């Protein structure tokens, strides 16, 4: 049974030239790309995307960051794609939680600048894919 998840290469990943690395790991895992777009995020989309973090102290910073430059949005497809990509990404804190071998563990140092986003549940994936790829 196949499912879809939303992956973002965040502005830090695009600026550092790590888009190919992220896509390569997704493909090597056996997942496929159902849609892909380079896009500068409007503030309203960023707020909607991160709505669950509205009350967090880092919400303002997070919006500034995610709208600071283009992101690459990817709809990723495959068996257990949501969990599979979260495993490829590694934990949120790239030093304390993400282990070497994961994207964050290999390429990031700060929690905010942790390279990628991946939907965390089927409900999030559905909501986020509707927001980023309404026509998919
Ligand atoms: P994720 O699902 O692993 O991306 O993590 P969360 O949903 O908990 O947080 C969303 C994003 O907010 C993270 O990927 C980070 O970019 C950022 N973030 C999370 N926690 C913190 C924090 O304590 N401080 C800052 N500055 N950013 C954070
Ligand atoms: Mg999250």
CA distances from 52 to 35, 72, 107 (A): 25, 21, 26
The per-residue pLDDT for range 87-116, each reduced to its tens digit, is: 999 999 999 999 999 999 999 999 999 999
Structural domains of the chain in order of their starting residue, each with its CATH number? 2-132 (3.30.70.141)
How many angstroms is it from 47 CA to the middle of ligand 1? 14
User: Is this complex scored with an ipTM above 0.90?
Assistant: yes
Q: Is the distance from the beta carbon of residue 62 to the nearest atom of ligand 1 less than 6 Å?
A: yes
Output the CA 92–ligand 1 centroid distance in Å.
6
pTM exceeds 0.95 for this model: yes
CA-to-CA distance for 39 and 116, rounded, in angstroms?
A: 14
pLDDT exceeds 90 at position 1: no
Q: What is the pLDDT of residues 31-79, one digit of tens each?
A: 999 999 999 999 999 999 999 999 999 999 999 999 999 999 999 999 9
């Amino acid at each position: 049974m196949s499912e879809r998840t939303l992956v973002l290469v965040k502005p830090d990943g695009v600026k550092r030239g790590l888009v190919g690395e992220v896509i390569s790991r997704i493909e090597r895992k056996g997942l496929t790309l159902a849609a892909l777009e380079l896009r500068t995020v409007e503030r309203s989309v960023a707020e909607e995307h991160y709505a669950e973090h509205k009350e967090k102290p880092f919400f303002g910073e997070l919006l500034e960051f995610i709208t600071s430059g283009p992101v690459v949005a990817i709809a990723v497809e495959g068996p257990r794609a949501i969990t599979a990509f979260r495993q490829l990404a590694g934990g949120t804190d790239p030093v304390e939680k993400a282990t070497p071998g994961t994207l964050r563990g290999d390429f990031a140092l700060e929690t905010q600048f942790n390279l990628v986003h991946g939907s965390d549940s089927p409900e999030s994936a559905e909501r986020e894919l509707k927001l980023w790829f309404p026509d998919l």
